[in-house]
Amino acid sequence: MSALAEVIDQDVQTLMDSVGGNSAQLPVGELRLLNHVPLMSDKGGRYGKGQVVTEMVIDPESWFFKCHFPDDPIMPGCLGIEGLWQSLGLYLALKGFKGKGRALGVSSLKFSGEVLPTAKRLQFHLHIRKVVERDWVIALADGEVLVDGKLIYEARDLKVGIFPEAKQSEETIGEVK
């Protein structure tokens, strides 16, 4: 697909509006975790194939703090991984891929911290490893989540795919290594 023009300091909703309605989707409402994109590029990153930095502003009144856990509120770790998957999906959308976006997996995770209601900002960092294009597209990346500048999660082999509505094949989803 097309090369990604470098994106610096953009609002996520503005970027999604710019790619149109048939592009890969992101969740809406409370499950859309991303607010801001300080950097997204086809260049750089650990593997020289692209990098993504997205952000989420932490609201101490967020829904997940109220139920996870009432007397010991922390953001569920799975939402940190969801933020990485959303970031990778946004990368593919901004490259011009269209269809249904799907998180396809992650090979390893390491949690070394947590997100408390007192936190101000999460950053999701991705290092693009590979983008495979067929009738569908799958991106593979490694990522980190930082809370107020401190590394708290590391993920290897994050996979996100975009599938044309009529061509999704359950047999081939996620088989790229």
- Annotated active-site positions, please? 68
Q: Do 115 and 80 meet the contact criterion of CB atoms below 8 Å apart?
A: yes
For 26, the 3-state DSSP assignment is coil
State CA 145 to chain mean position distance. Answer: 10
**Residue 102 contacts residue 164 (beta carbons within 8 Å):** no
For the residues of 98-167, what is the DSSP string, one character each? BSEEEEEE-SEEEE-----TT--EEEEEEEEEEEEESSSEEEEEEEEEEETTEEEEEEEEEEEEEE-TTT
Rounded to an integer, what distance in angstroms lies between the CA atom of residue 28 and that of residue 86?
11
Radius of gyration of the chain measured on its C-alpha atoms: 16
Q: Do the beta carbons of residue 53 and residue 41 sit within 8 Å?
A: no
